[in-house]
Amino acid sequence: MAVSSGPGRPPDADSSLPELLKQLSEETQTLVRLEIALAKAEMTEKGKQAGKGAGLFGAAGLLGLGAFGALTACLIALLATVLGDHVWLAALIVTLVYAAIAAVLAKRGQKEIKQAAPAAPEQTIETLKEDAQWAKTLK
């Protein structure tokens, strides 16, 4: 018993319940596939960005290590001159200073990592929340 659709009626208003359920199932599958594709794309982009940053950090670390070695040699030579050619004592002092600095940096780094946001597909999570809210309004 189909009723002619008048103005203001949705085009699917004359569809039977099985047809509507089939359409709902298909659209839900499409929505889930699109959300998964969005999550993959978002995580791929974040991964590329993180990889580029890691490469730059690696290069900076390599060059910084060379500079640090040269600075260490200079400091030990300077202190050995001041301490009357006691190279071992100069090396020990430089080592203790470096160890103290390393401890402070490790604590700060640990604090920063704890405060960092998790690597999650934020846009996808947000659209899933919106989809859930939309689905609730259909009831």
Per-residue pLDDT of the chain (139 residues; tens, 9 = 90+): 445 555 666 666 677 888 888 998 899 999 999 999 998 998 988 888 889 989 999 999 999 999 999 999 999 999 999 999 899 999 999 999 999 999 999 999 988 888 776 767 778 888 888 888 888 887 6
- Residue 34 within any structural domain of the chain: no
**Within a 10 A sphere around the Cβ of 39, how many other Cβ atoms?**
17
Judge if pTM exceeds 0.75: no
Q: For residue 12, what pLDDT is reported?
A: 64
Range of the domain at 80: 40-117
- Residue 52 within any structural domain of the chain: yes
Q: For residue 131, what pLDDT is reported?
A: 85
- Residue 72 within any structural domain of the chain: yes
- Residue 96 within any structural domain of the chain: yes
Instruction: Tell me the CB-side half-sphere exposure of residue 68, using CA atoms within 13 A.
Output: 9
Q: For residue 1, what pLDDT is reported?
A: 44
Residue 60 and residue 63: Cα distance in Å, rounded?
Answer: 5
Domain count, the chain: 1
Q: What is the DSSP string of 6-19?
A: -TT--GGGG--HHH
- Residue 20 within any structural domain of the chain: no
